[in-house]
Amino acid sequence: MLDNNVPQPWQGQTTLVFALAACSIGLGNVLRMPYLLGEYGGAPFFLSYVATVFTVAVPVLTAEVMLGSKGRASPVGALRWASDQSARSTHWSLLGVLQCLLGILLAIYCLPMIAWMVDRAVVLNSDALASASATEVAMSFQQLVAAPNTTILLALVGLVTLLAALGPQVAMALIGWVVLPAMAVALLSLLQYGIEFGDLASAGDWLFAVNYSHFGWEAAMMGMLSGVLTLVAGLGVGSVFGARSPKNLPLLRAVIAAAILDVAFMLATAVALLPLLGATNVLPAEGLPFLFIAVPYAFANLPLGEVYGAVFFGFTALAVFAALLALLEPSVMLLHQEGGVNRNLAALMVGAGLGFGVFWLEHTGQHIVFLPLILDLAIVGVLLLLSLFVAWRMPRPFARAELYREPRWLFNVWWLCLRFIVPTVLVLVLIWQLVAPR
């Protein structure tokens, strides 16, 4: 066991729940879920999404957290230890390296979005977009993307590097006990604002309509993909946080609680925003146009929009920053524990790699149209390999020993999901991603 090599500062049982929930919210589906709910049938699509979250994403993330809790090491160290104890090839530990790399790539992709969110918050708060047309809002965002704010980018890279150097316990405390409560308070204020100034009827028609004519094979697969990617599974974050969790924590129920919080935040965000779009006669869009054009336009044309718009973009920036900090920790831990590098130097190396990747993406990588698809495929592939290792190559008693606090029936449901439902769904999603028209 590696327990003596890693301190365990957390005695409370809610830190892991809050930290996982905050990271999941930051990497969740705020960009596309409000649009997808209305486009693909409302309630049927939402049910497929929720079913996938709890039968696929939760089991795989639990497996990842369980490996980290058992191995008390980096994702590579935890997988190597589990492989050795299971009498399997230690080459499975290379999966941990891939998780670290994916975390860095996703962080590179997400960091410019934080800078855009900060910029939108400042612009809205300064009233620069007051009563602006949709075309003017779109042009403002296009100018921001074409000429990124280097100062904000450098400040973000420096801040996340500093926080990463302080250790995972600081990251978990900051994410779980500062970021998540701040996001909750901001979201409650936005819900109140949406109820007062928004068009609730149009939002309800868009979000909660039962339209089976729009729910077909494509809608089902899109719901599955969204459910698979909504949590932080497959990126090493669960393993790192599991390594810092108390030994007596019911890990499976902790992950379920984090997933419930994630789904609740997603729904609450959609309910807060869509009435505002309805009140300004804007149809929801998918992806960046929704977040950086439709939403700023709605805030800019509503009373007190400059205040609540700044609150919203501050809340989303905080959520993505929390996820960004968590995404770097597996790589820092890998360099520190496996490479013998001083932790401060390891954080500096990872931060330098992040900064280089961000500026490369900003100047040349915008032309990589398929980067999001490549990331999605790689994450789904990692999740598939992780589920196959834990459910088919690792002895069942090994997992049960770490999840001993869970009721037997709950453990059995988790095990069956991990062995049969998870691989089936992930293979279907992989095939669909490869053959679906773009």
Give pLDDT tens digits for 46-87.
899 999 999 999 999 999 999 999 998 899 999 999 999 999
In this prediction, residue 42 carries a pLDDT of: 79
Amino acid at 336: H
Of 94-103, 129-138, 141-150, 283-292, which gets the smallest average pLDDT?
283-292
Q: Using the 8-state DSSP alphabet, how is residue 426 labeled?
A: H
Q: What is the pLDDT of residues 404-438, one digit of tens each?
A: 999 999 999 999 999 999 999 999 999 999 988 66
Taking 70 as the threshold, does the pLDDT of residue 8 lie above it? no
Element (H, E) at 251: helix 251-279
Question: What is the distance between the alpha carbons of residues 204 and 34, in angstroms, rounded to a whole number?
Answer: 11
| Cβ contact 428:224 at 8 Å | yes
The helix (run of H) or strand (run of E) holding residue 144 is helix 134-146
* Among 106, 366, 111, residue whose Cα is nearest residue 235: 106
> For residue 100, which amino acid is it?
C
Q: How many CA atoms lie within 13 A of 271 on its CB side?
A: 14
- Percent of the chain clearing pLDDT 90 (strictly above): 62
Fill in the DSSP letter of residue 12: S
| Integer Cα distance of 33 and 36 in angstroms | 5
pLDDT digits (tens, 9 = 90+) for 180-209: 899 899 999 999 999 999 998 888 888 877
Collect all residues with Cβ–Cβ distance below 8 Å to 177 and sequence separation of at least 6: 15, 18
pLDDT at 251: 94
Distances (CA, A) of 293 to 126, 386, 436: 17, 38, 27
169: which residues sit within 8 A by CB, 6+ positions away?
A: 7, 9, 10, 244
Per-residue pLDDT band at 132 (split at 50, 70, 90): confident
For 405, the 3-state DSSP assignment is coil
In sequence order, what are the beta bridge partners of 42? Answer: 210
Q: Under DSSP, is residue 281 helix (H, G, I), strand (E, B) or coil?
A: coil
Structure tokens at 280: 């300004």
pLDDT at 368 over 70: no
Per-residue pLDDT averaged across 295-310, rounded? 94
For residue 297, how many C-alpha atoms fall within 13 Å in the half-sphere facing its CB? 25
CB 120 within 8 A of CB 327: no
Report helix, strand or coil for 215.
coil
So what's the pLDDT on residue 2? Answer: 43
The closest alpha carbon to 114, from 160, 169, 147, 66, belongs to 160
What's the pLDDT at 12? 62
Q: What is the mean pLDDT of the chain?
A: 89
Which of 146-150, 159-163, 196-200, 253-257 has the lowest average pLDDT?
Answer: 146-150
pLDDT at 1 > cutoff 70: no
Measure the CA–CA gap between 384 and 378, rounded to whole angstroms: 10
Q: For the packed helices 150-165 and 94-125, what is the interaxial angle rounded to 10 degrees? A: 130
Q: Which domains does the chain have, with CATH numbers?
A: 3-435 (1.20.1740)
Residues 6+ apart with CB under 8 A from 87: none
